[in-house]
Structure 1
Amino acid sequence: MISVLFVCLGNICRSPMAEAVFRHQLKEKQLETTIKVDSAGTGDWHLGKVPHEGTRALLDRYGISYEGMRARQVTLEDYTDFDYIVCMDNNNERDVRAIFGSKSDGNTKVFKFMDLLADKKTCDVPDPYYTGNFDEVYELVAAGCVKLLERICEDQLKHSEV
């Protein structure tokens, strides 16, 4: 099974939104049993909490489930448990790489979410906890999740050709 972990700062806004949106997209394509999806934060301020009310309201508007989602913190084990670790901004990526240290098996791919959307002018997914703009984040997340699935499919095709 392929596995994806979305990471942001507190795991209540951006990464749970990406987790819910990606799960929804996978369900629409009947791939929800093929790809495991989770989210985590680099900080510990919101451990055990449900997604932010702004994230929940937006997901409700689009009919996207966030049932059972609770904030958790990135762990060292995540490096071996996930194939793709997708960070919402530069700071998250730096912090994730610091957590993982020199651990590297060549299989886990750690990268920024906005690397999936090279045509956009921003390099980070803005944090709506501070900006309040959950709609902007949703637009980026929805488009990026489509690109992520395309990347996973391409990687799997390359892997099967080897």
Structure 2
Amino acid sequence: MKPLKILFVCIGNTCRSPMAESVMKHWLEEYDLNWKVDSAGLRTWNVGRKPNERCIKVLEENGLTTDHIGRQISTMDFYNYDYILAMDEHNLHELQTLAKDPSQERCAKIELLGKYIDRPEDQIIRDPYFCNSMGGFRCAFLQITESCQNFIAAHMYTD
């Protein structure tokens, strides 16, 4: 099996997508899988910045770290990754729109990360950025963790 290349995408690349990148890297290490993982944002707001301090805090609460520096998704990402995983339906729609190029065959499969949660009510990973408490970040962390574990289980022996 060739190593998969996965890109997590949210709106600003400061909360959900860097969290997903860190969580996935942790589980890939646990399973001794050599997949490539990164994250990006749809907007330029956080290019060159570290993730939101609340994202970092939730990762640390769970024994994880991140050295991610924010970046914006690029056209080449649609060619360089096997999977581009969006956090919510707005991210998904925008990614699908960006990927539309009738003259080119894109290799990346664009999906919701939450697709890998069995409960439909939990499949949208809401943006915790505007939450006044840590609750939104902790909820996103749990959804992301379950999604990443299930993604690995679904693709470990199939791709």
The reply to whether TM is greater than 0.5 is: yes
Aligned residue in 1 for 2:154: 151
**8 Å contact from structure 2 (residues 21, 38) kept in 1:** yes
Identity of aligned residues (%): 29
Whether contact under 8 Å (1:7, 1:87) holds in the other structure is yes
Residues 129-151 of structure 1: per-residue CA shift (max 9 Å, x gap): 02341110011011000011112
Normalised to the residue count of structure 1, the TM-score between the two structures is 0.88
Unaligned runs of 5+ in 2: none
Decide which structure has greater helix share.
1
What SS does structure 2 have at the residue aligned with 1:19? helix
- In 1, the alpha carbon distance for the partners of 2:73 and 2:27 equals 24
TM-score, scaled relative to structure 2: 0.90
Bigger Cα displacement from structure 2, 93-102 vs 40-49: 93-102
Tell me what 1:7 maps to: 9
- State the shift of 1:96 in Å: 1.1
What whole-Å deviation, never above 9, does each CA across 1:40-69 have from its counterpart, x for those lacking one?
0111111111010011001111111202x0
Give yes or no for contact 1:89–1:125 (8 Å, CA) kept in 2: yes
Tell me which residue corresponds to 2:78.
79
The residue correspondences of 1:31-110 to structure 2 (distance < 5 A) are 31=33, 34-67=34-67, 69-102=68-101, 105=105, 107-110=107-110
The one-letter code sitting in structure 2 at the alignment partner of 1:142 is T
Cα deviation digits, residues 89-111 of structure 1 (max 9, x gap): 11111111222223563642110
Amino acid at match of 2:96: R
